[in-house]
């Protein structure tokens, strides 16, 4: 293809330097060519992950137990005998009289208006009656008794106070580092070619 273009340029230059000054020259299109498609090898790139083992320093934390005795007071229950005054009520009976209403049936003579005969019937009637009954009055009395009482009292004691102290140490280790790189590869591509 390059040779055809070089030939066309050489023809133009030779026509420009012709001896006849009035010569008319025509520069036309290069000869027609035919396009075809061919498979050509090309280099392409694709991403690829790579792993690399690199050294690193890791901080390792351990805890040390430290126990310290501490004096303190705690409340403990204790039982005591204590004298308390107890109040109670004693019933005292007394006899009283009361007026109580009562219903009684009283005989009443009645004459029948139709026959004119007399007969006896009963009619209820309320009467007051005095009755004797017993009522109770309550008298307050006091008495001293001994009872068991639970109370909280302070007691001196020693307890262990535990503390965990962190200790950091550096440990050499390895880690995996991943990087993305472009890797070349060769493939075939169909390209147009002028013949």
Residue 63 clears pLDDT 90, i.e. is over it: yes
Query: How confident is the model over 72-89, as a mean pLDDT?
Result: 92
Length of the chain: 195
Residue 7 clears pLDDT 60, i.e. is over it: no
Q: Which two tokens stand for residue 108?
A: 């009443």
Q: Phi and psi at residue 30, in whole multiples of 5°? A: -65, 160
| Interatomic CA distance for residues 59 and 191, integer angstroms | 59
Residue pLDDT, tens place only, 12-35: 565 554 444 444 444 555 555 677
Confirm if 131 and 98 have CB atoms less than 8 A apart. yes
| Interatomic CA distance for residues 9 and 24, integer angstroms | 17
Residue pLDDT, tens place only, 133-185: 999 999 999 999 999 999 999 999 999 999 999 999 999 999 999 999 999 99
What pLDDT is recorded for position 137?
A: 92
Q: Which two tokens stand for residue 31?
A: 């000869």
Report which of 46, 44, 47 is spatially closest to residue 179, judged by C-alpha positions: 47
Q: Which two tokens stand for residue 27?
A: 């520069």
The mean pLDDT of the chain is 84
| Interatomic CA distance for residues 80 and 97, integer angstroms | 52
């Amino acid at each position: 293809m390059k040779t055809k273009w070089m030939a066309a340029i050489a023809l133009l230059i030779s026509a420009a330097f012709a001896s006849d000054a009035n010569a008319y020259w025509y520069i036309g299109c290069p000869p027609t060519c035919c396009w075809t498609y061919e498979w050509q090898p090309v280099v392409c790139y694709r991403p690829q992950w790579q792993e690399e083992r690199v050294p690193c320093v890791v901080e390792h934390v351990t805890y040390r137990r430290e126990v310290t005795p501490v004096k303190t007071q705690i409340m403990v229950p204790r039982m005591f005998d204590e004298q308390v005054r107890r109040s109670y009520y004693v019933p005292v009976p007394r006899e009283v009289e009361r007026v109580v209403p009562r219903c009684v049936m009283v005989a009443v003579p009645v004459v029948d208006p139709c026959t004119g005969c007399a007969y006896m019937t009963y009619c209820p009637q309320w009467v007051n009656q005095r009755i004797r009954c017993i009522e109770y009055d309550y008298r307050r009395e006091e008495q001293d008794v001994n009872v068991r009482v639970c109370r909280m009292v302070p007691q001196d004691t020693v307890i262990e106070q535990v503390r965990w102290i962190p200790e950091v140490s550096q440990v050499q280790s390895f880690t995996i580092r991943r990087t993305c790189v472009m890797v070349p590869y060769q493939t075939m591509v169909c390209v147009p070619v002028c013949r």
